[in-house]
Amino acid sequence: MSKALSGYRILDFTHVQSGPACTQLLAWFGADVIKVERAGEGDVTRSQLRDIPEADSLYFTMLNGNKRSITLNTKNQKGKAVLEKLIKECDVLVENFAPGALDRMGFSWERIQELNPKMIMASVKGFGPGPYENCKVYENVAQCAGGAASTTGFDDGPPLVTGAQIGDTGTGMHLALGIMAALIQRQTTGRGQRVLAAMQDAVLNLCRVKLRDQQRLDRTGVMKEYPQYPDTPFGEAVPRAGNASGGGQPGSVLKCKGWETDPNAYIYFIAQAPVWEAICKVIGKEEWLADPEYATPATRLPHLKSIFATVEEWTKTKTKFEVMDILNEFDIPCGPILSMKEIAEEQSLRDTGTIVEVDHPVRGKYLTVGNPIKLSDSPTEVTRSPLLGEHNEEVLSQLGYSSADIADLRSEGVIS
């Protein structure tokens, strides 16, 4: 069966997480992704956080499935010549080097356009043009600079970063969308173009509701759905809202049976207005229904803490899964706090291909997150990550190099 991106060739000059997450997605959609790695060591993540000596780490294997790998010293003249051939043959070059690294290597955007005017050159950088554009950036720096950390955590604690890799993988997903748009535009213009996704911008995009709240705060000085209201005065900037919901429906994390020993025995509970009556009945607080203090979302706002405490007295008597079953019968929105262990063992995620077990010649079987985006006409088959330089011969011979040329390149250390 053909795939959505069959026939597209991606020169994957990415490393660590943000770029590889983007190119892995393109590979799942069927593109031929050729990962170009430094001769000798390869992507630094191959050896980071290793759980099995000498085997590519899970950090690497879970971000580089479905790709081919070649090693190339692109600072050597012969290596540059190979890269030039690749640039001519590929549709998209994706890179996430430190600012200026590609220019220093001799591959400015102008040079790339000379080599291949149809080339789409897609980059992840930490910051867009401005005071920080030359900075090297990792995940948590982006979370801090993009507004996530200042708005995450509890009011009386320090800023917090989240476990979701919104700076790295989040930016990689933004970049993939930019590449898709550029490929579609190329069909009419015949030209390539540059695509830039800055990590600060991507995080801010995901924190859009907090910029919404900043403007509400500027105008009114108060945000009644925040846990600070009505007891704690608001300052000038959006405060950390703990586990309060970011939308118009109040929510909170509540303890469930077993919370004393299980750190994940909690449920997220949303006091959605249309099901208020059902909530009161389920938890046995019918008297709230006749009480004007609890009659509307607005009158309930000053009582949210005590409302959630009362609901929690009920949730504490049930496991998170029992609470889920009972509340869902009444369409009361809620979600169990699932541990990574529970998610890894969840059969339905295996059934949909969102969690996939892959076999690797060195490390054996491992779990990876499969394609979260399902296309009915382009099913994803997740395959293992390549060994370092596994496709040197295959790719170089496709580029027209003979066996003797390849042997020379190897003996000169251009490939490894």
> How far is residue 204's CA from residue 212's CA, in Å, rounded to a whole number?
11
Interface with ligand CAO, residue 279, by CB under 6 A: no
* 168 makes contact with ligand CAO (CB under 6 A): yes
* Site stretch for ligand CAO (CB under 6 A), options 98-106, 146-154, 271-279, 366-374: 98-106
Q: Which of 168, 218, 291, 359 is catalytic?
A: 168
Q: Which of 11, 58, 72, 275 binds ligand CAO (CB under 6 A)?
A: 72
- 């207005």: which residue's tokens? 273
3-state SS of the chain: helix, strand, coil percent to 5? 40, 15, 45
CB 390 within 8 A of CB 14: no
Residue 68 binding ligand CAO, by CB under 6 A: no
With contact defined as beta carbons under 8 Å apart, do 251 and 335 qualify? no
Tell me if 139 is assigned to a ligand binding site. yes
The half-sphere exposure of 135 on its side-chain side, counting CA atoms within 13 A, is 17
Contact with ligand CAO (CB under 6 A): which of 5, 55, 112, 124? 124
- Whether 325 is a known active-site residue: answer no
In angstroms, the Cα distances linking 171 to 17, 34, 35, 130, 204 are 10, 20, 19, 18, 10
Select from 292, 291, 293, 300 the least CA-distant residue to 272: 300
Contact assessment for residue 304 and residue 250, using Cβ atoms and an 8 Å cutoff: yes
98 annotated ligand-binding residue: yes
- Measured CA to CA, the distance from residue 285 to residue 42 in angstroms comes to 62
Using rule CB under 6 A, residue 101 touches ligand CAO: yes
Whether residue 160 is annotated as binding a ligand: the answer is no
Q: Is 96 in the site for ligand CAO (CB under 6 A)?
A: yes
Evaluate the CA torsion angle 197, 149, 255, 209 in order and state its sign: negative
Consult the annotation and say whether 247 binds a ligand.
yes
Among 30, 65, 126, 146, binds ligand CAO (CB under 6 A): 126
Min dist CB 34 to ligand CAO, Å, is: 12
Counting contacts by CB under 6 A, is residue 104 touching ligand CAO?
yes
Pick the stretch among 46-54, 68-76, 154-162, 404-412 that binds ligand CAO (CB under 6 A): 68-76
**Footprint of ligand CAO on this chain (CB under 6 A)?**
16-19, 36, 38, 72-75, 96-98, 101, 104-105, 124-126, 136-139, 168
Give me the active site residues, please. 168
